[in-house]
Chain A
Amino acid sequence: MYVPEEQLNGRVTFYWRISRLFRTAIVFLPFSVGIFFGALAISNFWVALVASLFFVAHRFFYTLIWPSFEHIHYRFEIREHDILVQHGVLFRKWSSIPLHRIQHVDTHQGPLQRIVGLVTLQIYTAAGSTFDGAIPGLRPKRAQELQQQIIQSRGDDGV
């Protein structure tokens, strides 16, 4: 089994934690309140409390602890003819995208990423709607290098 060499920049765990914390606060805390009252309507107070607390605990686990695991397993490598991306902790996926099939490469940077100083490299092939390959947590300089490297080797898109 071949494990790709390069890891994401360590700051990406910080970025993941902060962005998920925002989402937890905005979307999931109100949602857990909803769960509490929903469960209260069909059952008693304690069941409702446990259900909503369980949900909150799961969400905080995902927000604060999970990113470290994800960082361990998110690896990529640009080889001579393809890009190899490995990601996922429980559901793991290894993707190989041949360089000559790549249609275009984007880098994008949200406001939070700008503060942290990271960019996401997004790779598109003609396969379209499916996940082709995204490499989050790159320093802008490294992302630009990769982009150049990928763009230099283009070819038949095979559609």
Chain B
Amino acid sequence: MMVSDNTHEWKKVHPASVFINLVPQLIRILRGLWIIILVLFFSEENQNIFDTSFFFILLILGVYRTVVHFLTLRYRLVGNFLEIKVGLFYRQQRRLDVARIQNIELRQNPLHKLFHLSELHIETAGSSEEGLLSALRIEEAELLRDQIIEQKEIPESPSQQEPSITLNTVDLLLYGVTSNQVGTVVVLSAIGSEVLSLINPRTAQEIASNISLQNAIGIILLSFGFSWLWSCLKAVLKHHRFTLSMSEYSLQTIDGLITKRKVEIPREKVQLAMLIEPWLRRLVGYGTLRIETAAFGIEDGHIRKTEAIIPMVERENFSSFLKKATPQLDADPWNDTLHPAHPKALYRGIARGFLQSIIPIAVLMFVFRDQSYALALISLSVLSVPLSILDWKGQGWLITPNSIVSRRGYLNRKTWVIDRNKIQSIHVYQSPFMRIHNLAHIVVSVAGTEIILPDISLEDAHENYANLNRQWRFAVVKKNHKQSSSLLSSDETIPFDETTIDTEIIE
């Protein structure tokens, strides 16, 4: 392998970093303090605190951070390690093992584009803020990425990569419209009313007493409208010109209008695929596919799971697409028949749904503070019963030789397909209510996520649990086998022992 001479020198980020990162830094700081700012802005008394000096302090903080970042950040790639050191008073030096890197992301905000630069995020399992190089020339960033990928011994073959999926603006608008909105509206209105009554109780009282039923319905419709508009806007901004390309070793997605994101996920790191079908999206025959790794990253100041999201996939293409994206998973939840949930799980579903629907209704009653609608609102919670029945009907699970499938939810149906080789631990869970009906469910935990399977009888749960545990032995054997006999080709696997894995567990 050829390594150029300057690889071992410490390298800096581009000087434009100071300027480019100032605005995002300030936004991040403002976002962190939004409640304080809101309170200061709306409070009746302490108007004088909220003056220019406050902004001035924030500005200095932002400048300080970006300048320190630029002045002190050095990085280099030595052998199998990427070393990054940063910090003025609190110094950090990190050595990232290249083999542990889960994915590499290139991001460009408009300022980056102006200077022909790019931001490089390197994410490893579990931790959140390892490896951020805020401004590199694009060639430099791509070179570094290629070097890392080369170290990982993943032969990159760009000629083979063809865009498998591209989405246009119409698709994205549809994606925005079909997102679930009810939750957002309820939560936002609850927070809004709480904040209002905290800051300015008199106005809140006035609004609450003057509200009529027609006005209330109008407000709700209006907030749904805004929420739709907002999610359409967000979808278009976030996923503008979405393309997904797949090579033999990795998946790559490129999207974004303001901030361009380029996510590269090595296939061996894929832990699970998840298909999300909110009811509106299901109605028009689409779903969203998410492919997750173990990494956590920070985006816009929020910790989120790193994943490739394919916003809109047609229903006919679900299984063929899943097969293409994750060939190691042998389950096909849309053609195989899934095992249903236990009949008695319906009782639990109904009780649970009823209790859950009481909470938003209680919030609504609290917002309107009018007892005359109470009965009407409570009768709304009866609606949760048919929803629970539909949810229960849709539930399903399946265990195949190398994957686990779980499907739950009606309004926001989700189907998980987990790679069994990535399982960290398995749990069986039983609550008192479930014990009455002799139910239990299996919880599978992979790095960073827990997936709950539908309720089944305790005996079945324990039988499946034992079967899943038997694969631990298999995994260890396979590993030892690989180590001891290096003469064998790497793709050689031991055939499954018929007795260890039982796919037809209940009938």
Identify which of B145-153, B173-181, B459-467 touches chain A: B459-467
Contacting pair B431 A90 (CB below 8 A)? yes
The reply on B65 being an interface residue by CB < 8 A is no
Contacting pair A90 B432 (CB below 8 A)? yes
Known A-B contacts A1-B459, A2-B466, A156-B479; the reply to A132 vs B425 at CB < 8 A is yes
Contacting pair A93 B425 (CB below 8 A)? no
Residue of B nearest to A125 (CB): B424
The reply on A96 being an interface residue by CB < 8 A is yes
Residue of B nearest to A92 (CB): B430
The reply on B422 being an interface residue by CB < 8 A is yes
Identify which of B47-55, B218-226, B328-336, B441-449 touches chain A: B441-449
A76 to chain B, nearest CB (A): 13
Interface string of A71-113 (1 = CB under 8 A from B): 0000000001110000000111111111111000000000000
B403 to chain A, nearest CB (A): 14
Residues from chain B with a CB closer than 8 A to the CB of A99 are 472, 476
Contacting pair A94 B445 (CB below 8 A)? no
- Tell me, in angstroms, the Cα distance from A101 to B422 when the chains sit together: 9
Residues from chain A with a CB closer than 8 A to the CB of B387 are none
Interface string of B434-458 (1 = CB under 8 A from A): 0100000000011110100000001
Q: Which of A2, A91, A100, A158 contacts B462 (CB 8 A)?
A: A2
Contacting pair A98 B425 (CB below 8 A)? yes
Interface string of B275-312 (1 = CB under 8 A from A): 00000000000000000011000000000000000000
Residues of A at under 8 Å CB distance from B? 1-2, 80-82, 90-101, 125-130, 132-133, 153, 155-156, 158-159
Residues from chain A with a CB closer than 8 A to the CB of B432 are 90-91
Q: Which of B429, B448, B475, B479 contacts A91 (CB 8 A)?
A: B429
Contacting pair A93 B421 (CB below 8 A)? no
Contacting pair A1 B458 (CB below 8 A)? yes
Residues from chain B with a CB closer than 8 A to the CB of A156 are 475, 479
What 7 pairs between A and B have smallest CB-CB spacing? A127-B424, A98-B472, A81-B472, A159-B294, A159-B125, A126-B447, A94-B428
Residues of B at under 8 Å CB distance from A? 102, 125-126, 269, 271, 293-294, 421-432, 435, 445-448, 450, 458-459, 462, 465-466, 468-469, 472-473, 475-476, 479
Q: Which of B435, B447, B472 contacts A127 (CB 8 A)?
A: B447
Known A-B contacts A92-B429, A100-B475; the reply to A81 vs B450 at CB < 8 A is no
Residues from chain A with a CB closer than 8 A to the CB of B125 are 126, 159
Contacting pair B269 A96 (CB below 8 A)? no
Contacting pair B465 A96 (CB below 8 A)? yes
A-B contact pairs, 28 of them (CB 8 A): A1-B458, A1-B459, A2-B462, A80-B473, A81-B469, A81-B473, A90-B432, A93-B430, A94-B462, A94-B465, A95-B425, A95-B427, A96-B472, A125-B425, A126-B424, A127-B425, A127-B445, A127-B446, A128-B126, A155-B475, A155-B476, A155-B479, A156-B475, A158-B423, A158-B424, A159-B125, A159-B269, A159-B422
Contacting pair B476 A81 (CB below 8 A)? yes
Residue of B nearest to A83 (CB): B425
- Tell me, in angstroms, the Cα distance from A155 to B479 when the chains sit together: 8
Q: Which of B422, B427, B435 contacts A158 (CB 8 A)?
A: B422
Known A-B contacts A94-B427, A98-B425, A101-B425; the reply to A159 vs B447 at CB < 8 A is yes
- Tell me, in angstroms, the Cα distance from A159 to B123 when the chains sit together: 12
Residues from chain B with a CB closer than 8 A to the CB of A80 are 473
- Tell me, in angstroms, the Cα distance from A97 to B445 when the chains sit together: 10
- Tell me, in angstroms, the Cα distance from A156 to B421 when the chains sit together: 10
Contacting pair A95 B475 (CB below 8 A)? no
- Tell me, in angstroms, the Cα distance from A132 to B423 when the chains sit together: 12
- Tell me, in angstroms, the Cα distance from A97 to B472 when the chains sit together: 9
Residues from chain A with a CB closer than 8 A to the CB of B466 are 2
Contacting pair A158 B421 (CB below 8 A)? yes
- Tell me, in angstroms, the Cα distance from A130 to B445 when the chains sit together: 8
Contacting pair B426 A95 (CB below 8 A)? yes
- Tell me, in angstroms, the Cα distance from A92 to B428 when the chains sit together: 8
Residues from chain A with a CB closer than 8 A to the CB of B479 are 100, 155-156
Residue of A nearest to B100 (CB): A159
A4 to chain B, nearest CB (A): 12
